[in-house]
Amino acid sequence: MKKYSTIATICLALLVSGCTKLDQEFYSSVTPDTFFKSEKDIKAALFRPFTHAKWYLGEDRWRLQEYTADNFAVTTKGRHWYNGGENERFHYHRWTPDDNWIWESWRGTLMGIALTLDAKSDLDKLDYTKFALTAERKAADLAQLDALVAFFYLRGLDYFGGMPIFESLEQESLPRNSDQELFDHTEKLLKAAIENLPAKKADDKEEGAIRKAAAAAMLAQLYFNAESYIGKPMYAESRKIAQDIIDKVYGDYALDSKWNGVHGFKNNLSPEIIWSMPSEFKKLEYNWFYADFYHYNTRQFFDQDMDGNNGAHLTPSRKPNGALYTADFKLGAPFETFDKGDLRKAPYVYHGTDQYDGMFIVGPHKTPEGETIVGGEEYNGLPLNFVDQVARFSDVGPKKKYSSIDQLPSKMSEGEENTGIRLVKVPIPNLANNELRWGADLPAIRLAEIYYILAECNYRLGDKQRAAELFNAVRKRNFANNVDPNPVTAASIDKYRILDEWSIEFIGEGRRRTDLIRWKAFITEEWWDHKPSNATHLNRFPVPNKAIAGNSNLTQNPGY
């Protein structure tokens, strides 16, 4: 029978919703020799921790990346969404070691490592020849698990800095390792995985598997952000790997020719996907995102049966009087950062089967038949109209709080039910095509990111022209006939243009905070209703008090 250490028992007992709960009694009585009967059982064990990785990429990890940055906010809307001040704390960078998003992310990171090490322990003991499988296959399976451990540690390093390094389930109550030690461990895992992972082949249909290019991409990400993680710029090292990926050294990938090819219902066929998380309707993959973003009555807009909670939206591009914020701040205003004519900037419209346009809910809210959708709060019985502004317009008028729009404040506490543009990054069909709902896989790594990593590395290393060319290679697909009205040039490229390009291409993909930190902008720049703190400790989240209470060997990050 297996011996379970603190990391395994605590993590498995505290699995959050979205992960399949493991039965402790069953699991402790099963050994590799009795469980594995076929190759199918091997695959089931191998990919079990990948389901946790899928959950890990969303929900609270996503919220820590996006609601702390300049593209999204969850404003208080009348009687809704104050949530004890939680949303304001993260927007204003006033989080604490007791905040649940932070605890869930610390715990989720170690859960992923525990589950992956557990699977690796089982497979490592297994004689693959009994299943007519080769030693190379076993090495590749174990390499996938090494890369998955590295994935969790890479994210943990990004969120918290040094974490305890577990290499087996026999260890418990370990102290934190340093940032450098965790960086080195992650680097070691990825380098070893690259050696043993196969490159993706044209006939490779095993969706969700980590192939050679995915591990190489993670190593490029590690080096790309090394200056943030360990104070050592490694842009040359990141550039080399990114160029090799584009040059097909690690497998055959290509940019998708369509703007929505990597996000659409059939994105499992996109040549751009390097690593994705398979998805299907019955799994309710994106319910958390739907609940965060969409109005209670948006189900009529989608012709769907799901109710949203009407919380999140893009940060505003415009003041209550309609003037643009772009003259006030160099960051934020995400909707207006998209150029006119960008195919993504169009309102979301589902055309049937698997065809759709645009990725935003903006303007008058109507059903697919063109009927007006009304509100239920400030605009009860009145037409809903989603605006790129945050203000209590319903409080303007005779005998109301404000006599004119010019008096309206715009801040986190001043939202109403139609506040803010809503993102539809994952397309949603109508009920007639409900078999497509949540059918789009979740891209974890795609080739466009490698192009942008290479572009930024070239910029930082002095080659502005090459940087511009790489950004433009991705940008052009987002315009009719590939005609870009505002291409990046060697003359126009700078820190803020690069941050804009990351924002536009990867909006809502759970990475914005990391990009801002890499550019030393997370704590130094101003955006809508957010003043810079210049407090360097805020580039890391605190170790949760719950974690320290359970392991007295853990130390808190400086500044908390």
Segments forming the whole domain that contains residue 392: 280-430
Q: How many domains does the chain have?
A: 1
In a domain, 344, yes or no: yes
Q: Is the pLDDT of residue 2 over 80?
A: no
**One-character DSSP codes across 158-195:** HHHS-----SSTT--SPPPPPHHHHHHHHHHHHHHHHH
Q: Is residue 405 part of a domain?
A: yes
User: How many Cα neighbours within 13 Å face the side chain of 370?
Assistant: 0
Q: Average per-residue pLDDT in the chain?
A: 93
Mean pLDDT value of segment 216-234: 98
pLDDT score of 169: 86
pLDDT category at 353 given cuts 50, 70, 90 is: confident
pLDDT score for 27: 40
Report yes or no on 360 lying in a domain: yes
Which tops the pLDDT comparison, 9 or 536? 536
Least confident of 7-21, 71-85, 202-216: 7-21
Q: Is residue 309 part of a domain?
A: yes
> What proportion of the chain, given as a percentage, has pLDDT over 90?
88
Task: Tell me the per-residue pLDDT of 400-444, one tens digit each, with 9 for 90 and over.
Answer: 999 999 999 999 999 999 999 999 999 999 999 999 998 889 999
Strands 72-74 and 385-386: unpaired
Cβ proximity of 498 and 204 under 8 Å: no
pLDDT band at 499 (very low <50, low <70, confident <90, very high): very high
| pLDDT tens per residue across span 126-180 | 999 999 999 999 999 999 999 999 999 999 999 999 999 999 888 888 999 999 9
Report the distance separating Cα 267 and Cα 129, nearest Å.
Answer: 35
Asked if the structure places residue 529 within a domain, the reply is no
| Distance from C-alpha of 329 to C-alpha of 412, rounded to nearest angstrom | 17
Give the pLDDT band of residue 281 (cuts 50, 70, 90): low
Q: What is the pLDDT of residues 304-319, one digit of tens each?
A: 999 999 999 999 999 9
Average pLDDT of the residues in 300-307: 96
Amino acid at 152: F
Mean pLDDT of 372-388: 98
Q: What is the mean pLDDT of residues 481-498?
A: 98
Measuring CA to CA, how many Å separate 413 from each of 85, 218, 276, 310, 409?
10, 39, 37, 15, 9
Provide the β-strand partners of residue 80. Answer: 77
CB crowding 109-137: b at 16 or more within 10 Å, else e: bbbbbbbbbbbbbbbeebebeebeeeeee
Q: Is 88 inside any structural domain? A: no
**Model pLDDT, residue 55:** 94
Count other Cβ atoms within 10 Å, centred on residue 510.
19
What pLDDT score was predicted for residue 380? 97
Whether residue 110 is contained in a domain is answered as no
Question: Does residue 252 lie in a domain region?
Answer: no
Q: Are strands 355-357 and 312-314 parallel, antiparallel or unpaired?
A: unpaired
Predicted local confidence at residue 22, as pLDDT: 28
pLDDT at 23: 32
SS3 assignment, position 147: helix
